[in-house]
C-alpha cells in the first residue's frame, strides 16, 4: 500500500495532524495498533487545556501550549468538542516563597499567556472555599480550560476521516526501513510505503525514531495515577487547582471535568514498562494526601474509578518536533508529555505544514471544516427531544442509567465514521458505563447493541479489542 503520508499513532497528536493534513490534496493514512483512536496517553490524562505559563520561554512546550490554548475555543466550536474555559489557580502555601508565584507569572507573561494575575487570600477564598487552610495566594489563569480528551481526539479523527484520511486500526508497526522514495513501514497487517512518515507514537516514538536515525532518542514512560469522583462531588472546586510545579511535573491537581465529575491526580513515577498503565496501591493511597496540600474535605468515598496514564518523557525534557536531520522525510513528534493535549491543535497545524512543504501539497477546495458530534439529548428542549424520539424511538430508551445514555446515542456512536467497536469505544463516545456503577447494569445491554449493530457475535464483543473478550462461551459449554 502506497501513501503520501503515513502517521504512526492515533492519539490526540496523530489525529490532530491527520485532521490538519486532510486540508491538503494528499493520500494520508494513520496506523494505530489499538482497535480505536485515543487509546494511549490521550485517554488517561488530566483533561486540561493549560494556559501556558509552566514551560520555560523559548521551549517548544511553551510555544505550542500557548498557540494550542488560543486555537481551542474555535476548534471546540468547529468540531463540537465539550470544552469549558473555567480558569486555573496555581496555589501557594504559606511555607512556599512568594517569589515562586511571581516567577510563574513572569514566565507566563513571557510565553504570551493573557490575563494572568495573582489573587490574594480574600478573593481566592471567595472563589474556592475548599482550598487548604495553608494556601495564601494563587496565580489565576482565566484562559485555562477543561476538555473531553476522548471527544477531542475522536473529533479530529472523524473529521480527518470524512476528509479522506484512512485509518488502519489494529495495525502494529514492527519496523521501518528506508526505501528508494520514502520509507517502508512493516506491520502485522502488511507493508505500508510512504513518502513522508510522521512519528506520533507516544511512548514508542523513540523506538521508531531510532530505527531510522543515528541520533538516538530515549523516552521514559512516566506513570500518572488518577481518581475520578462521582458527579455529586463535581462542584467541590470550580477551577482547576494546581500546586506549584516540581521537577516531576505540576504536582497533583484537583479539577472539575467537562462532564461534571471531579478528577484528582496525577502521581508521577518513572517506569521502564511502556505498557505499565496499572494503578498501584501506593499511588492510589497517596493521592488523597497529595491533593490535600491544596484542597481539603475531598469526599474520598465518592471515588468511582481510578486509572493510570503514561506520559512520554524524552530525556531532553522538551517536545521534539520536526524532520529528523539524518532521515529526510521522517518527521518526529516525540516526547509529547504535558502540555501535550493543550498543544495538540498547534502541533497538528505545524506538522501538517511541514509535511505539506516537503511534498509541495496543495489545499483542497472541498475540505469540510466542521463536524457534528453525537447528539446529546440531555441538552435538547423537551419538544426537540420528543421530536427526536418520535423519529428515532431508540433515543427514548435509556441504556446507561447512571449517565442517562440512550440507545440512540450508542447506535450513533457505532455507525459514525471510525465508530465504536467495543465497550470502551462506546464508553468514550457516549459515556455509557462511565458513571457511578461503572457499567454494572449497562454493559450486558451495550454488548447486545454492539452485537446487533456492527453486527458481530456476542462472543466477539470485547472491552477494548484484541483479546479483551467479555464472555467466553455459552452456558453448559465448559
Partner 1 sequence: MENYDLIVIGGGPAGLAAAAAARENGVENILVLERDKEPGGILNQCIHNGFGLHTFQEELTGPEYAARFIEKVEKLDIPYLLNTMVMDITEDKIVTAMNREKGMFQLSAKAIILAMGCRERSRGALNIPGYRPAGIFSAGTAQRLVNMEGYMPGKEVVILGSGDIGLIMARRLTLEGAKVKVVAELMPYSGGLKRNIVQCLNDFDIPLKLSHTVVDIDGKDRVKSVTIAEVDADGKPIPGTEESYCCDTLLLSCGLIPENELSKNAGVALNPVTSGPIVNDALETSVEGIFACGNVLHVHDLVDYVTEEASNAGRHAAAYILKGAATDTRRISITPADGVRYTVPSCIRPGHMEETLTVRFRVGAIYKNSSIVTCFDGEPVNRRRRPVMAPGEMESIVLERKTLEKYPDLKEITIRIE
Least Å distance, CB 26 to partner 1, is: 35
C-beta atoms surrounding 246 within 10 Å: 9
**Segment 13-42, which members bind partner 1 (CB under 8 A)?**
none
Least Å distance, CB 90 to partner 1, is: 28
Q: Is 467 in the site for partner 1 (CB under 8 A)?
A: yes
Pairing of strands 240-243, 88-93: parallel
The mark string for 408-447 relative to partner 1 (x by CB under 8 A, - otherwise) is ----------------------------xxxxxx-xx---
The residues pairing with 227 across neighbouring beta strands, listed in sequence order, are: 264, 306
Does residue 276 contact residue 310 with C-beta atoms inside 8 Å? yes
Least Å distance, CB 304 to partner 1, is: 5
H-type alpha helices, 34-79: 60-79
**In the annotation, is 218 catalytic?**
no
- The single residue among 122, 275, 366, 379 that binds partner 1, judged by CB under 8 A, is 275
The mark string for 300-339 relative to partner 1 (x by CB under 8 A, - otherwise) is -x-xxxxx--------------------------------
Q: Which residues contact 54 (CB under 8 A, 6 or more apart)?
A: 61, 65, 104, 107, 245, 250, 339
State the residue for C-alpha cell 466477539: 460
Q: Is 271 in the site for partner 1 (CB under 8 A)?
A: no
Least Å distance, CB 83 to partner 1, is: 25
Does residue 12 contact residue 42 with C-beta atoms inside 8 Å? yes
Q: Is 299 in the site for partner 1 (CB under 8 A)?
A: no
For partner 1, the closer of residues 183 and 307 by Cβ is 307
Residue 95's alpha-carbon distances to 91, 130, 133, in angstroms, are 12, 19, 12
CA dihedral of residues 316, 320, 326, 331 (deg, nearest 10): 160
User: What gap in Å lies between CA 39 and CA 202, rounded to an integer?
Assistant: 11
Q: Is 466 in the site for partner 1 (CB under 8 A)?
A: yes
Q: Is 342 in the site for partner 1 (CB under 8 A)?
A: no
For partner 1, the closer of residues 369 and 468 by Cβ is 468
Q: Which of helix, strand or coil describes residue 31?
A: strand
Judged by CB under 8 A, the stretch of 85-93, 138-146, 239-247, 386-394 that binds partner 1 is: 386-394
Nearest Cα neighbor of 73 from 43, 57, 51 is 51
Active-site residues: which are they? 50
> Where along the sequence are the contacts to partner 1 (CB under 8 A)?
227-228, 232, 275, 277-281, 283-285, 301, 303-307, 382, 385-386, 389-390, 393-394, 396-398, 401-402, 404, 436-441, 443-444, 458-459, 462-464, 466-478
Amino acid at each position: 500500500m502506497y501513501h503520501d503520508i503515513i502517521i504512526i499513532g492515533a492519539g490526540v497528536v496523530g489525529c490532530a495532524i491527520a485532521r490538519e493534513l486532510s486540508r491538503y490534496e494528499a493520500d494520508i493514512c494513520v496506523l494505530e495498533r489499538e482497535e480505536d483512536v485515543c487509546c494511549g496517553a490521550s485517554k488517561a490524562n488530566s483533561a486540561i487545556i493549560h494556559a501556558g505559563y509552566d514551560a520555560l520561554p523559548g521551549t517548544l512546550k511553551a510555544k505550542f501550549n500557548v498557540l494550542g490554548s488560543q486555537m481551542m475555543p474555535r476548534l471546540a466550536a468547529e468540531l463540537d468538542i465539550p470544552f469549558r474555559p473555567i480558569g486555573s489557580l496555581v496555589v501557594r502555601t504559606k511555607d512556599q516563597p512568594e517569589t515562586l508565584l511571581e516567577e510563574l507569572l513572569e514566565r507566563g507573561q513571557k510565553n504570551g499567556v493573557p490575563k494572568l494575575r495573582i489573587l490574594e487570600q480574600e478573593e481566592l477564598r471567595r472563589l474556592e472555599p475548599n482550598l487548604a487552610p495553608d494556601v495564601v495566594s494563587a496565580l489565576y489563569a482565566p484562559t485555562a480550560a477543561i476538555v473531553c480528551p476522548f471527544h477531542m481526539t475522536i473529533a479530529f479523527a472523524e473529521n480527518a476521516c470524512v476528509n479522506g484520511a484512512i485509518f488502519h486500526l489494529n495495525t502494529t508497526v514492527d519496523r521501518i526501513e528506508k526505501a528508494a522514495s520514502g520509507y517502508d513501514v512493516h506491520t502485522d497487517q502488511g507493508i505500508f510505503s510512504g513518502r513522508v512518515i510522521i512519528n506520533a507514537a507516544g511512548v514508542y516514538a523513540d523506538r521508531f525514531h531510532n530505527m531510522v536515525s543515528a541520533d538516538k532518542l530515549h523516552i521514559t514512560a512516566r506513570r500518572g495515577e488518577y481518581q475520578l469522583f462521582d458527579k455529586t462531588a463535581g462542584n467541590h472546586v470550580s477551577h482547576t487547582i494546581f500546586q506549584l510545579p516540581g521537577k516531576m511535573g505540576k504536582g497533583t491537581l484537583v479539577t472539575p471535568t467537562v462532564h461534571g465529575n471531579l478528577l484528582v491526580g496525577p502521581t508521577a513515577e518513572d517506569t521502564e514498562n511502556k505498557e505499565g498503565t496499572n494503578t498501584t496501591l501506593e499511588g492510589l493511597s497517596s493521592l488523597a494526601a497529595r491533593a490535600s496540600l491544596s484542597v481539603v474535605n475531598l469526599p474520598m468515598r465518592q471515588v468511582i474509578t481510578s486509572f493510570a496514564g503514561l506520559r512520554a518523557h524524552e530525556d531532553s525534557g522538551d517536545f521534539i518536533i520536526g524532520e529528523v536531520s539524518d532521515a529526510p522525510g521522517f518527521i518526529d513528534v516525540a516526547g509529547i508529555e504535558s502540555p501535550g493535549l493543550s498543544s495538540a491543535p498547534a502541533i497538528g497545524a505545524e506538522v501538517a505544514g511541514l509535511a505539506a512543504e516537503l511534498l509541495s501539497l496543495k489545499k483542497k477546495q472541498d475540505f469540510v471544516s466542521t463536524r457534528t458530534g453525537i447528539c446529546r439529548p440531555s441538552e435538547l428542549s423537551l419538544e426537540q427531544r420528543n421530536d427526536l424520539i418520535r423519529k428515532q424511538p431508540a433515543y427514548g430508551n435509556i441504556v446507561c442509567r447512571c449517565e442517562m445514555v440512550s440507545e440512540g446515542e450508542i447506535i450513533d456512536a457505532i455507525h459514525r465514521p471510525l465508530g465504536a467497536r467495543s465497550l470502551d469505544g462506546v464508553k468514550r463516545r457516549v459515556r455509557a458505563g462511565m458513571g457511578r456503577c461503572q457499567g454494572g447494569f449497562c454493559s450486558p445491554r451495550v454488548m447486545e447493541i454492539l452485537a446487533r449493530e456492527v453486527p458481530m457475535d456476542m462472543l466477539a464483543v470485547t472491552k477494548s479489542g484484541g483479546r479483551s473478550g467479555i464472555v467466553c462461551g455459552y452456558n453448559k459449554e465448559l
